[in-house]
Amino acid sequence: MKKEELKNKDDKIKFFYYQVTDIWKRFCEEHATLFNLTCDEYTHLLKTDMDKLEETIDKKSKTIDRINVLDNLRSEIIDELNIHLKNSDEVKKQYKIEKVQNVSELLSLMENFEKNLEEKYLNNFNNLLINIIEKIQNQNKKNHIFINKAIHSLSEIKGSIEGKKNYETYTKKGVTTYKVNNVVKKSSDDLGRNFVKPS
């Protein structure tokens, strides 16, 4: 193959690299927005501000929709990249890949190209994205714990108003079941002997 043709093939990979980098940058921006909204959601839960909570949930939904659009764009780039790989044995040989089948392989190919660059833009964005996603997951756990505690408290209040006595029942494996006036609400007979503690 002529040097000029090989350069054109490399330019095509370079084009894909900057497309992927741009998407990762936008992923970071949208996930940062999602993280901030998830924190806002927790604040509104603490303050029981239902109007602002509803507004925040709507904003989160729209942000997730935008993230899904970026996911689709990423899939389209993978499809285009695979067409390029199919038509270029030299590029497959150079980057040691036959076909990009998932995001991990996409990153691997792009990082291989990135080795020759001074600035590792994609790598930096990917590390940032992982960090933001971990923060979102941790904040979501806090939100869910708060919601579960609130539901449990409402259940206890409802039970006391109706004159019912609630019991938390722990199985041998630590699974919680509930009894209301000695009626089991969640059965775990197959998990072993129960230990009962009045709530």
pLDDT tens-digit map of 68-100 = 999 999 999 999 999 999 988 888 888 888 999
CATH, residue 54: 1.20.58
22 and 108, same domain (yes or no): yes
Q: What angle do CA 147, 33, 78 make, to 5 degrees?
A: 110
Do 137 and 35 contact (CB within 8 A), yes or no? no
Greatest alpha-carbon pair distance for the chain in Å reads: 87
Q: What is the pLDDT of residues 134-188, one digit of tens each?
A: 999 999 999 999 888 877 676 666 666 766 655 555 565 655 555 544 444 444 3
pLDDT at 124: 95
153 and 90, same domain (yes or no): yes
pLDDT at 15: 93
Domain that holds residue 182: 164-199
69 and 51, same domain (yes or no): yes
138 and 174, same domain (yes or no): no
Structure pTM?
0.73
DSSP assignment of 72-93: HHHHHHHHHHHHHHHT-HHHHH
99 and 168, same domain (yes or no): no
9 and 99, same domain (yes or no): yes
- Alpha helices (runs of H) in the chain, residue ranges in sequence order: 3-47, 50-86, 89-95, 103-114, 121-161
109 and 178, same domain (yes or no): no
44 and 126, same domain (yes or no): yes
Q: Count up the domains in the chain and report the number.
A: 2
185 and 155, same domain (yes or no): no
